Amino acid sequence: MMTFKRTRHDARGVASILALLFLAIFASLSVAFFTSSSMNLVQSSNVAAIAEARLAAESGLSFLIYELSHCGVSGSLRGQALLDSLADRLSADLDGTPNLGGRAVAYDGSAITVPTIDFGDGKNFSGQVTLSSPDTVRLTVTAECAAGAGASAKIVQRQVAIDIHPTWEQALAFGICSKGPVEMGMNTELSGVTQASDGSIHSAATGTAVSCGSGHISGDVSVSDPGASTDLAGTTVDGVVRYDAPPLTMPTIDRTLYKSLATTVMSSPSPSAETYTNIRIPGNTNPTFGNSVTILGILYVEAPNNVQFMNNVTFTGVIVADDPPPGSPDSANYIYFKNNMTFNGVEHLPREDFSEVRKLQGVAILCPGFTVEFKNNMTSVGGIMAVKVLIAKNNIDSTIMGNMLIYGDAGLTFKNNSDLDIQLSGSSPPPGFKGHGLQALAPDPSTYAEQ
């Protein structure tokens, strides 16, 4: 039998082989560990960049929602008029500012583009506002985050979007909005104060819906009845004349707040005082006020009633009336001012005695079931006039801080020499109207989307 003898040299060879084997294993493990660590670092960097881009997009969304909601646009606008007004207001607020680096908001008629706003540290966002439906704008914000350096440099992009809706009654977008015809005589001047569009007219009447003997209208003239026409041959209209305007719903009115403040009952048909404060006239009183009367606060008229004012009336506050009972004739629900009527808003009332009434700013006349007539010389109206029929005979030189809303089929008639400056406020509609207390534009959280 042959035997093998292991020598010292054999043992050394085996040890060397094992050492080399272990070195190879450790080297492989080191490479694997390095590769794994590098991948983890890259993954962490990517995740961090994505998170930074998403945060930039969310910040941009919050910033632009705030700008849209506080730029002063009217929440009663819809469609192209809403987008046009937003473009004007955003430009006025943002153009040339440090946020935009001295640049300007761009608008091509279909999209408003807010240029890149830089956060620093390689992060920025930009925005775009488009009209997705007649009563909806879509705000889209795109954010970028620059990460890495050299060959590993990259830009991560995230995008978020949300729908935003106007919240107010659409009828409040027009200086004059009437269910019936709008008839104005010679020498008519209808001008928007803040925007030319404030001097716009909308009529839902049949036949001749809008007519004007001569003069100037700064806004649009809109007619919603398909068979209606206009008579504007002697009138300059700065806006457009539309015969396909969508029909509007006149606002539903809640008088609760006003009635609760009319605490003094005035039941005499021949009132003789010079000054009246927060009065309520019971139905069928049919009073005739004398000359040089001053009324402060709320004048609440129960229906039916025929209320007559003679000469030189100074009114500071709000006139409110009930809806007439069914079958009550127009002549039994009438408010008449003979000559020289001055109408001031509630903000001009003394603070100490009228603190609650002063909160009701924005309305002058809230009588959608009554005919209201100013015979001669009406000046300064401090808010919305909502009436069944509005008649003004001569010399109406007035700044009206609100709309004229005409609820009856007989519409509005201004005879001659009407100079009306209309200012539609960008604040919320006054108490009693839908949208009161709401911001002009409201985001819809259910439409939020992220890419």
Query: In this structure, is residue 245 part of a structural domain?
Result: yes
CB 298 within 8 A of CB 258: yes
Q: Look at residue 24 and tell me whether its pLDDT is greater than 70.
A: no
Report the alpha-carbon distance of residue 371 to residue 90 in Å, rounded.
Answer: 41
Average pLDDT over residues 29-53: 59
Average pLDDT over residues 95-105: 93
Map residue 327 onto helix, strand or coil. Answer: coil
Q: Look at residue 21 and tell me whether its pLDDT is greater than 80.
A: no
Query: In this structure, is residue 133 part of a structural domain?
Result: yes
CB 416 within 8 A of CB 434: no
Query: In this structure, is residue 35 part of a structural domain?
Result: no
Report the alpha-carbon distance of residue 186 to residue 264 in Å, rounded.
Answer: 42
Peptide bond into 304 cis (omega under 30): yes
150, 195: one domain = no
Range scoring the smallest mean pLDDT among 104-118, 153-167, 274-288, 316-330 = 153-167
Q: Look at residue 44 and tell me whether its pLDDT is greater than 80.
A: no
pLDDT tens-digit series, residues 218-238: 999 999 999 999 999 999 999
Q: Which residues contact 98 (CB under 8 A, 6 or more apart)?
A: none
Give the pLDDT score at 397: 80
Give the pLDDT score at 115: 96
Q: Look at residue 33 and tell me whether its pLDDT is greater than 70.
A: no
CB 226 within 8 A of CB 339: no
135, 261: one domain = no
401, 325: one domain = yes
Give the pLDDT score at 427: 64
- Half-sphere exposure at residue 271, Cβ-oriented, CA atoms within 13 angstroms: 25
Give the pLDDT score at 41: 46
In which band, very low, low, confident or very high, does the pLDDT at 426 lie, cut at 50, 70 and 90? low
349, 276: one domain = yes
107, 201: one domain = no
What does pLDDT average to over the chain? 88
Structure-model confidence comparison of residues 18 and 125, the more confident one: 125
Domain carrying residue 269 = 171-422
Percent of the chain residues past pLDDT 70, beyond the cut: 87
163, 224: one domain = no
Query: In this structure, is residue 437 part of a structural domain?
Result: no
Range scoring the smallest mean pLDDT among 197-201, 294-298, 397-401 = 397-401
Report the alpha-carbon distance of residue 366 to residue 317 in Å, rounded.
Answer: 11
291, 396: one domain = yes
Backbone CA torsion sign across 354, 358, 364, 369: negative
85, 199: one domain = no
59, 196: one domain = no
- Count CB-CB contacts under 10 A for residue 243: 15
135, 262: one domain = no
What are the phi and psi torsion angles at 63 (to 5°)? -65, -45
Average pLDDT over residues 306-310: 95
pLDDT tens-digit series, residues 69-88: 888 888 899 999 899 999 99
Query: Which strands sit side by side in the sheet containing 111-120, from one edge to the other?
Result: 106-107, 111-120, 123-133, 136-147, 154-166, 441-450
Query: In this structure, is residue 417 part of a structural domain?
Result: yes
Query: In this structure, is residue 201 part of a structural domain?
Result: yes
Peptide bond into 282 cis (omega under 30): no
Give the pLDDT score at 10: 60
